[in-house]
């Protein structure tokens, strides 16, 4: 079993739809990161969470430490949101060592 899992693996949505991507992990963490990777490889750090909820524009990220689960929500999705979304966790026992999830490939159709 992978230490960080994401669902769904692939997601196709119509423009305007509300999107949820889930991440679950099985290790003790110091923080959880959501990353966005566009075709061509560039990665952007979207959120870093250790508790609660964060919002940035149309993006919302939540984390439940007890359940070892995080969700990334995209409201009013747009074709420019099409990318791979990657969940990553920083290990509590190993400063700055990061484990990545497999990624969720999102395609938003106009």
In the complex, least distance from residue 36 CB atom to other proteins, rounded to whole angstroms:
10
**H helix or E strand, kind and range, residue 20:** strand 19-25
Q: How far is the CB of 67 from other proteins (least distance, A)?
A: 22
Question: 81: helix, coil or strand?
Answer: helix
SS3 94: coil
Per-residue burial over 46-78, b if 16 or more Cβ lie within 10 Å, else e, is bbebeeeeeeeeebbbbbeeeebebbbbbeebe
Pick 17 or 22: Cβ nearer other proteins: 22
Residue 7 near other proteins by CB under 8 A: no
Which residues ranging from 8 to 67 are in contact with other proteins (CB under 8 A)? 30-31, 33, 35, 41-45, 48, 50
Task: Provide the binding-site residues for other proteins, judged by CB under 8 A.
Answer: 30-31, 33, 35, 41-45, 48, 50, 86, 88, 90, 94-103
């Amino acid at each position: 079993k992978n230490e960080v899992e994401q669902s769904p693996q692939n997601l196709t949505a119509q423009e305007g739809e509300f999107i949820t991507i889930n991440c679950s992990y099985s290790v003790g963490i110091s923080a959880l990161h959501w990353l966005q990777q566009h075709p061509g490889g560039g990665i952007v750090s979207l959120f870093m969470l250790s508790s609660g909820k964060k919002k940035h524009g149309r993006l919302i990220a939540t984390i439940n430490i007890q359940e070892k689960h995080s969700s990334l929500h995209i409201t009013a999705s747009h074709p420019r949101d099409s990318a791979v979304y990657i969940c990553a966790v920083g290990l509590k026992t190993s400063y700055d060592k990061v484990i990545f999830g497999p990624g969720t490939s999102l395609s938003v159709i106009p």
